[in-house]
Amino acid sequence: MKEIPSGSSLEKEAPPSCFGDGDKVCPVDEEGIMQPQRGCLPCSYLRACLQKVMVHRGKIRVVDEQAGSKVGGFFKRWSDLKLKKNG
């Protein structure tokens, strides 16, 4: 049986201990602006980590999209939004 070479995409590494820690990854400055750290740029978990921080801080929310047409999804979201405003 062949061994998987080191660095292969099949090999899973655990996220670093700072994963999702907003105070370490992107602290907020005096003006309330988030400042991503340069040391985080080479991390392979950067996108997921920043997304977790943004969700935790209430800046974004993750919406699970159903499989289907993009146009159909757009009209469904638009319709839901209109019903919320009018209802």
pLDDT one-digit tens code per residue, 33-81: 889 899 999 999 999 999 999 999 888 887 776 666 677 878 888 888 8
- Amino acid symbol at 77: R
CB–CB of 43/49 below 8 Å? yes
pLDDT for 18 equals 93
pLDDT for 52 equals 92
pLDDT for 10 equals 42
CB–CB of 77/50 below 8 Å? no
pLDDT for 87 equals 62
DSSP letter at 15 equals: P
pLDDT of 23 above 80:
yes
User: Computed from CA positions of residues 11, 24, 29, 57, in that sequence, does the dihedral angle turn out positive or negative?
Assistant: positive
pLDDT for 76 equals 84
